[in-house]
A and B are shown apart, each in its own frame.
Chain A
Amino acid sequence: MAGRKKRLEWLHQFVFVGPALFFFSMIVMIPFILSVYYSFTSWNGVSSLKPWVGFENFYSILFQDSGFHNSFWFTLRFTAAQVVLTNVVGFGLALMLTQALKSRNLLRTAFFMPNVIGGLLLGFIWQFIFVKGFASVGKITGIGFFELPWLGDAPTAFWGIVIVSVWQGAGYVMVIYITGLMNVPKEIREAALIDGATRWGMLRSITIPLIMPAITVCLFLTISWAFKMFDLNLSLTKGGPFNSTESVALNIYQEAFRNNRLGLGTAKATLFFIAVALITLIQVKYTKNREVES
């Protein structure tokens, strides 16, 4: 009787959790473990030999691969710019849309719209805007901003990607900030107003501390989007001009599938994983500590 019950339990466990665990292991866990393993080999993807080379790949990436260094430096700068701007713009929009505006819902839809389109198509759309659209506007208005060689020059190409990325992400974080702002109790705001708080003072010492959970979420999301950017990068600049805008994700892809150096590619991917894990851990820990209960 007890044996039969135990068998039944196993059957249930197998039927309920088995499929999810099977696909998860086959598609994510096993490839991930293999990826870490291959990063210690000089596998080229074709031969069945995967010669063990120890830390050689990591050594050459960290000390010799200037292409990877450039892409890492680009990704860091891009992440910093994108995270700050997306959150500032998104928060600003949220402040605006929590006023008693009549067109509130329509505006929310408009600002959110870019987000439902994938990065690949957005990149192509903006390629046209930067190359042809801006040039036409520049010709009509004569404003220098539009006549810059937008994707053709390293600094402007950098800001080009930042602009598109902020345009894509701001609506999303806006939605989260709106929810956060609506949860700030009215009484606290009114009490502060009676005590003579200024708008700015209220924002700094009441609103922001109270919406810290939303800030945590938004920082987490924007950091992880920016750090892992691939689609937009590929379609907007392809890493150019002269690899100046090549993200780490794009660099790994090129190393593995263009140069066919899979050992080196997986080593980069392993470093990338460590970086992503560290950044998200530090960030969540840091902002979680600053959350306050209202």
Chain B
Amino acid sequence: MPTNIRYTWRLLGLEVASVLLAVLFLVPFYFVIANSFKSFSEILINAASLPEALNFENYSRVWDIMKFPKVFTNSLLITLFSNIGLVIISSMAAYRLVRYAGKWNNLLFILFISAMVIPFQSVMIPLVQIANQMGLIDKLPGLIICYFGFGVSLNIFLYHSFIKSIPLEIEESAVVDGCSIFGVFWLIVFPLLKPITVTIVLLNSLWIWNDFLLPLLIISNPDLRSIPLATYSFFGQYTKQWDLALAALVLGITPIIIFFLAMQKHIIEGITAGSVKG
């Protein structure tokens, strides 16, 4: 085709423009990372330059002040156990709601789904009171139980539409073979749910890892803080001490960035799957 050459030039131009745009898009990260290695006075002189030397002193101070290993472990435990619990309770509930879709179960499903419209602010004030009465305040398991409640709607919704697409015959033959209903679910159905389970775990992880307001309301003990909480209180104490604050920010975003880069294919696919169905 004669238009081929012109087309390629146009594409090359677009390619260059796109890459420049992407670099511009990521410039904020450059500012934060470059300045996190500078001393306070060096930041004040010029925030746009590269650091004079790769100085890790800010990092080692922040590591201790923030109790980073502790905080990181807390975030990890909260995300991990919330995910395990959510996957178990939502997959079981969704399975039952699909396979025994009577009048009541359909109603229950609608109840779970419509709650997705409720904003957190319309729940949080009495929630703090209830959590207090049930002894959930200032405990990691308490926070995790709260995530069970908030995550279950979307998780059931995603499992529900996935389970509907699984043919019934597989389960029926297992029942004929004398498998109990629990056996059918855990040995036959649950393994088939793996693709949607991966999606759900990734979506939950991004949400729970970054969540801030719920832990702010539930946790007050400094030893139980998650990364966002610790960053928040760090900024409260070290306002305008940019050398330390920036090192704290870089430490705070590193785990989730690594997680994203490692899992990006699944995350992006999961987002498409999760939102297109919504």
**Contact assessment for A235 and B232 in the assembled complex, using a CB-CB cutoff below 8 Å:** yes
Which B residues from 100 to 125 make CB contacts under 8 A with A? Answer: 100, 105, 108, 111-112, 115, 117-125
**Contact assessment for B275 and A19 in the assembled complex, using a CB-CB cutoff below 8 Å:** no
Q: Is B176 an interface residue (CB 8 A)?
A: no
Looking at B95, B122, B209, B252, which has the most chain A CB atoms within 10 Å of its CB? B122
User: In the docked arrangement, what's the CA distance between A220 and B117, Å?
Assistant: 11
Residue from the list B22, B97, B112 in contact with A111, Cβ < 8 A: B22
**Hey, what's the 0/1 contact readout for A218-253 against B, CB within 8 Å counting as 1?**
001100000010110011000000000000110011
Q: Is B170 an interface residue (CB 8 A)?
A: no
User: In the docked arrangement, what's the CA distance between A140 and B46, Å?
Assistant: 9
**Contact assessment for A27 and B122 in the assembled complex, using a CB-CB cutoff below 8 Å:** no
Q: Is A54 an interface residue (CB 8 A)?
A: no
**Contact assessment for B245 and A26 in the assembled complex, using a CB-CB cutoff below 8 Å:** no
Question: From residue A79, how far is it (CB to closest CB) to chain B in Å?
Answer: 13
Q: Is A69 an interface residue (CB 8 A)?
A: no
Measured between beta carbons, the chain B residues less than 8 angstroms from A128 are: 31-32, 35, 47, 242, 245-246, 249
**A interface: dominant SS:** helix
User: In the docked arrangement, what's the CA distance between A172 and B242, Å?
Assistant: 30
User: In the docked arrangement, what's the CA distance between A256 and B122, Å?
Assistant: 11
Considering only CB atoms, which chain A residue lies closest to B115 in the complex? A28
Considering only CB atoms, which chain A residue lies closest to B92 in the complex? A16
User: In the docked arrangement, what's the CA distance between A280 and B118, Å?
Assistant: 11
Q: Is B146 an interface residue (CB 8 A)?
A: yes
Residue from the list B125, B231, B259 in contact with A262, Cβ < 8 A: B125
Q: Is A103 an interface residue (CB 8 A)?
A: yes
**Contact assessment for B153 and A24 in the assembled complex, using a CB-CB cutoff below 8 Å:** yes
Measured between beta carbons, the chain B residues less than 8 angstroms from A176 are: 271-272, 275-276
Considering only CB atoms, which chain B residue lies closest to A140 in the complex? B48
- Apart from A16-B95, A99-B11, what are 8 other A-B pairs with CB-CB below 8 Å? A20-B90, A20-B92, A31-B125, A109-B264, A113-B257, A132-B35, A213-B276, A280-B117
Residue from the list A12, A99, A253 in contact with B181, Cβ < 8 A: A12
12 contacts between A and B (CB under 8 A): A16-B185, A26-B130, A38-B126, A96-B18, A103-B19, A108-B268, A112-B268, A132-B44, A230-B120, A249-B120, A273-B118, A276-B117
Question: From residue A288, how far is it (CB to closest CB) to chain B in Å?
Answer: 13
Measured between beta carbons, the chain A residues less than 8 angstroms from B150 are: 27-28
**Contact assessment for A228 and B120 in the assembled complex, using a CB-CB cutoff below 8 Å:** yes
Number of interface residues of B (CB under 8 A): 87
User: In the docked arrangement, what's the CA distance between A260 and B30, Å?
Assistant: 41
**Contact assessment for A252 and B121 in the assembled complex, using a CB-CB cutoff below 8 Å:** yes
Number of A-B contacts (CB under 8 A): 250
Question: From residue B24, how far is it (CB to closest CB) to chain A in Å?
Answer: 10
Interface segment, one of B53-61, B62-70, B190-198, B210-218 = B210-218
Residue from the list B96, B100, B272 in contact with A179, Cβ < 8 A: B272
Measured between beta carbons, the chain B residues less than 8 angstroms from A113 are: 26, 29, 257, 260
**Hey, what's the 0/1 contact readout for A7-41 against B, CB within 8 Å counting as 1?**
00000110111011101101111111011101000
**Contact assessment for B145 and A30 in the assembled complex, using a CB-CB cutoff below 8 Å:** no
Q: Is A116 an interface residue (CB 8 A)?
A: yes
**Hey, what's the 0/1 contact readout for A160-172 against B, CB within 8 Å counting as 1?**
0000000100001
Measured between beta carbons, the chain B residues less than 8 angstroms from A110 are: 22, 25-26
Measured between beta carbons, the chain B residues less than 8 angstroms from A90 are: none
Measured between beta carbons, the chain B residues less than 8 angstroms from A217 are: 275-276, 278
Measured between beta carbons, the chain B residues less than 8 angstroms from A27 are: 123, 127, 145-146, 148-150
Known A16-B95, A19-B89, A27-B148; judge A121-B122 contact (CB<8 A): no
